[in-house]
């Protein structure tokens, strides 16, 4: 309704901070494939992914289903 994109985050600042600290390679705690691609695009090697494990519980079912359907989140 506000006209914003679904996810307007920019990972360039975080990637720059990691590089300044000498970090060139990370394992990300994420279910979001776009976040992995964004870090790679910013010059940070993604060595792997650790998933957030949130089981559907009757309260978050629709939220998790939306994340998977609309944004391709990996809910494994």
Tokens 């994109």: give the residue: 5
Phi, psi of 51 (to 5 degrees): -75, 150
CA 46 – CA 27 distance, rounded (Å): 6
Asked about 25 being catalytic, the answer comes back as no
Q: Which of 9, 19, 25, 27 is catalytic?
A: 9
Question: Which position among 7, 19, 25, 37 bears the catalytic label?
Answer: 7
Instruction: Identify whether 37 is a catalytic site residue.
Output: no
Active site members: 7, 9
């Amino acid at each position: 309704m506000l006209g914003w994109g679904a996810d307007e985050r920019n990972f360039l600042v975080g990637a720059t901070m990691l590089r300044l600290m000498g970090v060139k390679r990370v394992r990300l705690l994420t279910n979001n494939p776009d976040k992995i691609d964004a870090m790679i695009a910013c010059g940070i090697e993604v060595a792997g992914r650790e998933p957030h494990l949130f089981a559907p519980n009757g309260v978050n079912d629709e939220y998790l289903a939306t994340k998977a359907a609309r944004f391709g989140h990996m809910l494994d």
